Structure 1
C-alpha cells in the first residue's frame, strides 16, 4: 500500500484527488491546506508520496518542498501545477521535485505518476516538459549559468543515443521516439538508461536540459 499526503488550499481539489486515487494500492493518509500542515503530517505519519500544490497560503509548495528536501531528502514529491505557474516551476526544479502534474490530470495518469515516483522514477507530462524546455532555452539565451554541472558531449554517445537525446529535448515520449527511429520501446528505454549513465544525469528531465544547453534541440544534424 502506497501512503499519500495531499496538500492543496482548495477543499474541492483535495477531496477530488482523494477520491481519484484511493483504491487497494493507494491510501490517502491526510489532506491539508498549506505547507505547514503538510510538514506536520509528514512528521506524524509514514508518508510514501506527497502531492504538493505550488500555490498555498502561509507556506507555499516551493517553501514546503525546500523544507522536505532538508528534512526528508528521499521522500518523493509530485508538484501540482496549472498552466499559469511558469514563474514557480523553475524554483521547484531546483529543489528536486520528483514529478509534475497539471491539476486537470486524469485518474489513470495521476495513479501512474504516484506509482512511478514511489518506485524511484520521475514523472513529467509533455505539456510541462515543453514549458521547461522553453524556460531553459530563455535562460541560455540570457547567458545564465549552466543548470547542470557539465554540458560537454562525450565521445561514448552513439548515434542512436544522440537522436534519442534530441527527441527527449523536443518533448517526445518513448513511444514517439520509437516510431520516429524505428526502434522498439524496450530498446529506447535501454538507450535512455545508457544515456543517463554516460552523462551522469538523474532522469529524463535532465536529459532534456542537456539537449537544450548543447544546442541539440530542433536540429537534424548528426553528431
Structure 2
C-alpha cells in the first residue's frame, strides 16, 4: 500500500487527485495548500510519493523539492504545473523531482505518472527514461560543495532563526539596517533559496545552526 501526500493550493484539484488515487488502492496521508506545510509534512510523514504543485504560496514548489532533496528525503516527487513541460524539465530534474505532469492533462496521465514513479521510473512527457536518467545524473551525481559562512553571517543566520527581523538584528549587532539586509540577501544566495524558512531548514540540516532554534 503506497502512502501519498498531495500539495496543491486548489481544493478541487486535491479532491480529484485524492479520489483517483484512493480508487486505485493508494492511501493519501495528508493534503496541504502551501509550500511551507508541504516541506513539514513530507519530512514528518516520509510518504512514498509527494504530488506537488509548483506554484504554491509561501514557498515555491521548486524550493520545496530542492530542500527535500538536500535533506535526503526518500519520497518520490511528482511535480504538477500549468506551464509547459519543456520550460520546467531541467529545473525539476535538477531540483530532484522524478516526474512532471501538466495540470491541463487528463487525470489518467497523473495515474500513469504515479505508477511509473512508484516503480522507480521517471515520468516526463516526451522524454525517454534514458534521457531523464542522463539529465538527473549530470546534475545530482556530484556532491554539492559545502556552504561556508563567515562568523558574521552565522551570527545573523542564528538571529534570523530566532525570529529577529532586519531592524532588530542591526540594533543588536550595531550595524546599519542596510548592512543587515545585505547579509540576509547574501545568505539567501548561498543557500540557493528565496524563502526564510527554507533557508533556516537547510542551515539546520547542514549543521550551521543548532536544531533547537525555532522561527517565531
The bucket for the TM-score relative to the shorter chain is 0.5 to 0.7
What CA distance in whole angstroms lies between the structure 1 residues aligned with 2:100 and 2:53?
10
Give, in angstroms, the shift of residue 70 of structure 1: 1.3
Note if contact 1:99-1:123 (Cα within 8 Å) is conserved in structure 2: yes
**1:109 counterpart SS class:** helix
Taking the TM superposition and a 5 Å limit, the aligned residue runs for 1:179-198 are none
In structure 2, the CA distance between the partners of 1:84 and 1:111, relative to structure 1 (3 Å rule), is closer
Q: CA deviation at 1:205?
A: 2.3
CA contact (8 A) 2:90 2:135 kept: no
In the alignment, which residue of structure 2 is the partner of 1:91?
91
2:158 corresponds to which residue? none
Conservation of the 8 A alpha-carbon contact between 2:48 and 2:74: no
Shift, 1:88, TM fit? 4.6
CA contact (8 A) 1:21 1:110 kept: no
Aligned partner of 1:25 in structure 2 is: 25
The residue number in structure 1 matching 2:76 is 76
2:46 and 2:132 map into 1 onto residues whose CA distance is: 28
Aligned length: 137
Q: Report how far residue 208 of structure 1 moved.
A: 8.1
Partner of 1:205: 132
Q: Deviations over 1:157-207 (max 9, x none)?
A: xxxxxxxxxxx5xxxxxxxxxxxxxxxxxxxxxxx8xxxxxxxxxx43255
Distance across 2 between alignment mates of 1:119 and 1:22: 18
**How does the TM-score come out when normalised to structure 1?**
0.54
User: What is the CA distance between 1:102 and its match in structure 2?
Assistant: 0.9
1:52 and 1:110 mapped to 2: Cα distance?
12
Backbone CA RMSD of aligned residues:
2.6
Aligned partners of 1:73, 1:110: CA distance in 2, in Å?
Answer: 22
Name 1:34's counterpart in structure 2.
34
Structure 2 SS opposite 1:22: helix
Which residue is equivalent to 2:107?
107
Unaligned 5+ segments in structure 2 are 137-216
Q: Give TM-score scaled by structure 2 length.
A: 0.55
User: How far apart, CA to CA, are the structure 2 residues paired with 1:60 and 1:85?
Assistant: 17
Q: CA deviation at 1:80?
A: 0.3
Cα contact 1:54–1:88 (8 A) shared by 2? no
* Whole-Å separation in 1 of the counterparts to 2:36 and 2:135: 33
Q: Point out where structure 1 has 5 or more consecutive residues left out of the alignment.
A: 130-167, 169-191, 193-202, 210-223
Kindly tell me: are residues 58 and 69 of structure 1, through their superposed partners in 2, closer, same or farther at Cα, counting changes over 3 Å?
Answer: same
Judged with a 3 Å threshold, the aligned counterparts in structure 2 of structure 1 residues 65 and 22 are, in CA distance, closer, same or farther, namely same
Contact 2:98 2:123 in 1 (8 A): yes
